[in-house]
């Protein structure tokens, strides 16, 4: 696991109500059974943890932890 | 694959709700008796979940105005104002609302939902950024999506958080910035801390829109909403509102002073490509806005009723949506099955309130949401408090084990 994926898994843990083992391939919404508002709340935590901006527009193409890690890494470099 | 197969989880949840009693999301008002009374399941019921803040829906003058418009202008407009032209009534309504709001321009929409779709998508485009409060109404989210703008969500009612997010986006070149707030948030009943946000506006220089859907007619010395109450209207660039609450009709409006404001008519698809409001609805809205201007006692009575319900619930020890008196009084409940059970018990006892469940609520809360009307009597409010005391405060508020 990359460092970003590890950090995302840790950030995701408080939203993991059903005890799923979280990894890079975890689908954030369907595997953890969390609704759209909760996904946005999680992304807000990610934004603040990495001090980056993740517009809601990119979320429609971001399903797994690995997808989100790519977004985070691209935006961390940019900043 | 069947396209509707994905709706199976919704079907299961709906069936679970119905199995616990009445259909909490499909209540039928068999007969309306007044702004605050209906027959539901054959029983006379106090309506405390209809956003009928001014209690104006059965006003004799509004009804007469609607009847006259039906006779003079017919049943419908049969098309959009761009294609079919406006009726004189549309322009009358826009003039009346602009005057009431003390704004240079006002554009009316067919529904409040479309007002937000139209304003967000007309004001912001793909090169712009919209900063929206996390607890924004779905119509704001949907309007933002329609705009194609970059969307950044900030923590609810947190001006410092908005400040931080604006600073993060500052490196981006070009594009305008729109910040969207609500006067009163529909689920919890709390107001935006407008002065704090305007301090951030002075620092960053964005344009500000306030959706006064639940505060229009309700707050402020003139009933214009939160910005009127706070004395900060000159710092708000655009106002949005609806006719379906305090105005007692259906429709919505956007207003502002910008010299290009009228050009939004040719840039807002939810305005251009839908039929304009029906003559009766426009006429009752005109009559209602005159009443709101002429009868400030409606606002005073609403404030008194809201305070009575708020303090009554507090005295019962109920945990409420916010710590200020508001016409939206939400009671926090432990979980979904107990909320559904309590909602059913309240309905059977003769009071209709809204059930609000995630993801329609912030922070996964389960709520029994009341909206107060100026037309509620003191006895109505006391009865609602009494029933919440019997159903919610005593025993039922505990978690339901099965479910």
Q: What is the CATH number of domain B60-294?
A: 3.40.640.10
- With beta carbons under 8 A apart, name residues in chain A contacting B171: 79
pLDDT in tens for each of the 79 residues of chain A? 689 999 999 999 999 988 889 999 999 999 998 888 999 999 999 999 999 999 999 998 899 999 999 999 999 976 5
**Long-range contacts, A53-60 (Cβ 8 Å, 24+):** A53/B152, A53/B165, A53/B168, A53/B169, A55/B129, A55/B150, A55/B151, A55/B152, A56/B144, A56/B151, A56/B152, A56/B153, A57/B150, A57/B151
Of B144, B169, B358, the CB nearest to A37: B358
Residue from the list B129, B153, B358 with its beta carbon closest to the beta carbon of A35: B358
Q: Return the residue of A nearest to B132 by Cα.
A: A56
Q: Do A35 and B359 touch (CB under 8 A)?
A: yes
The tokens describing B122, both together, are 């007309």
Locate CATH 3.90.1150.10 in chain B: 3-54+296-393
> Which residue from A53, A9, A43, A25 is spatially nearest to B129, judged by alpha carbons?
A53
Does the domain spanning B3-54+296-393 belong to CATH 3.90.1150.10?
A: yes
Tokens encoding B309: 């319900």
Query: Hey, is the C-beta of A55 within 8 angstroms of any chain B C-beta?
Result: yes
Handedness of CA B62, B238, B326, B297 (dihedral sign): negative
For B1-34, write each residue's pLDDT tens digit.
999 999 999 999 999 999 999 898 899 999 999 9
Whether residue A79 and residue B358 make contact (CB cut-off 8 A), yes or no, is no
Quote the DSSP letter at residue B393. I
Can you read off the two tokens belonging to residue B312? 């009554």
∠ CA B264-B270-B272, rounded to 5°: 65
A73/B38 Cα distance (integer angstroms): 57
Per CB-CB distance under 8 Å, the chain A contacts of B150 are 55, 57
The H or E element that residue B254 is part of is strand B252-256
Tens digits of pLDDT across chain B (403 residues)? 999 999 999 999 999 999 999 898 899 999 999 999 999 999 999 999 999 999 999 999 999 999 999 999 999 999 999 999 999 999 999 999 999 999 999 999 999 999 999 999 999 999 999 999 999 999 999 999 999 999 999 999 999 999 999 999 887 777 999 999 999 999 999 999 999 999 999 999 999 999 999 999 999 999 999 999 999 999 999 999 999 999 999 999 999 999 999 999 999 999 999 999 999 999 999 999 999 999 999 999 999 999 999 999 999 999 999 999 999 999 999 999 999 999 999 999 999 999 999 989 999 999 999 999 999 999 999 999 999 999 998 754 444 433 3
Give me the phi and psi of B371, to 5 degrees please.
-120, 135
Q: How many CA atoms lie within 13 A of B9 on its CB side?
A: 5
Q: Give the pLDDT score at B394.
A: 75
- For residue A56, give the nearest of B151, B168, B362 by CB distance: B151
How many angstroms from the chain centroid is the CA of residue B117? 14
**Cβ distance of B150 and A57 shorter than 8 Å:** yes
Give the residue extent of every domain in chain A: 3-78
How far out from the chain centre does Cα B43 lie? 27
Strands B43-47 and B37-40, by their bridges, are antiparallel
- Give residue B200's pLDDT: 98
Token pair recorded at residue B301: 């009575």
> What is the count of residue pairs from A and B with beta carbons less than 8 Å apart?
36
Phi-psi category of residue B28: left, alpha or beta, with phi > 0 → left and psi -120 to 50 → alpha: beta
Asked if A29 reaches chain B (Cβ–Cβ under 8 Å), the answer is: no
Gap between the Cα atoms of A29 and A19, Å rounded: 14
Which CATH number does A3-78 carry? Answer: 1.10.1200.10
């Amino acid at each position: 696991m990359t460092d970003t994926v590890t950090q995302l898994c840790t950030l995701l843990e408080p939203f993991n109500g059903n005890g799923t083992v979280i990894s890079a391939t975890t689908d954030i919404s369907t595997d953890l059974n969390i609704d759209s508002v909760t996904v946005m709340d999680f992304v807000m935590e990610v934004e603040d943890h990495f001090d980056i901006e993740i517009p809601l527009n990119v979320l429609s193409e971001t399903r797994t932890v690995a997808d989100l890690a790519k977004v985070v890494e691209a935006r961390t470099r940019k900043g | 694959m069947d396209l509707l197969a994905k709706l199976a989880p919704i079907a299961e949840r709906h069936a679970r709700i119905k199995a616990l009693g009445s259909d909490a999301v499909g209540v039928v008002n068999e007969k309306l008796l007044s702004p605050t009374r209906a027959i539901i399941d054959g029983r006379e019921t106090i309506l405390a979940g209809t956003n009928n803040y001014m209690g104006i829906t059965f006003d004799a003058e509004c009804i007469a105005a609607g009847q006259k418009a039906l006779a003079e202008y017919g049943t419908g407009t049969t098309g959009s104002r761009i294609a079919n032209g406006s009726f004189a009534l549309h322009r009358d309504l826009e003039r009346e609302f602009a005057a009431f709001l003390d704004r240079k321009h006002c554009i009316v929409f067919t529904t409040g939902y479309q007002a937000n779709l139209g304003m967000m998508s007309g004001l912001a485009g793909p090169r712009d950024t919209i900063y929206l409060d996390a607890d924004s109404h779905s119509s704001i989210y949907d309007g933002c999506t329609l705009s194609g703008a970059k969307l950044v969500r900030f923590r609810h009612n947190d001006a410092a958080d908005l400040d931080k997010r604006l600073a993060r986006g500052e490196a981006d070149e070009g594009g305008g910035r729109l910040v969207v707030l609500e006067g009163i948030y529909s689920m919890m009943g709390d107001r935006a801390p407008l002065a704090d946000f305007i301090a951030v506006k002075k620092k960053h220089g964005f344009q500000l829109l306030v959706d006064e859907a639940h505060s229009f007619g309700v707050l402020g010395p003139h009933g214009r909403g939160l910005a009127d109450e706070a004395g900060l209207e000159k710092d708000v660039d655009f106002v949005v509102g609806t006719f379906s609450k305090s105005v007692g009709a259906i429709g919505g409006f956007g207003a502002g002073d910008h010299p290009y404001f009228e050009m939004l008519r040719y840039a807002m698809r939810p305005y251009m490509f839908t039929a304009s409001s029906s003559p009766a609805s426009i006429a009752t809205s005109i009559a209602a806005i005159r009443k709101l201007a002429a009868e400030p006692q409606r606002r005073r009575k609403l404030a008194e009723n809201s305070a009575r319900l708020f303090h009554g619930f507090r005295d019962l020890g109920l945990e409420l949506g916010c710590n200020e008196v508001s016409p939206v009084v939400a009671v926090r409940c432990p979980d979904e099955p107990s909320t559904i059970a309590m909602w059913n018990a309240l309905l059977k006892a003769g009071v209709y309130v809204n059930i609000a469940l995630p993801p329609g609520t912030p922070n996964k809360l389960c709520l029994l949401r009341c909206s107060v009307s100026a037309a509620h009597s003191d006895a109505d409010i006391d009865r609602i408090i009494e029933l919440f005391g019997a159903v919610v405060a005593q025993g039922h508020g505990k978690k339901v084990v099965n479910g």
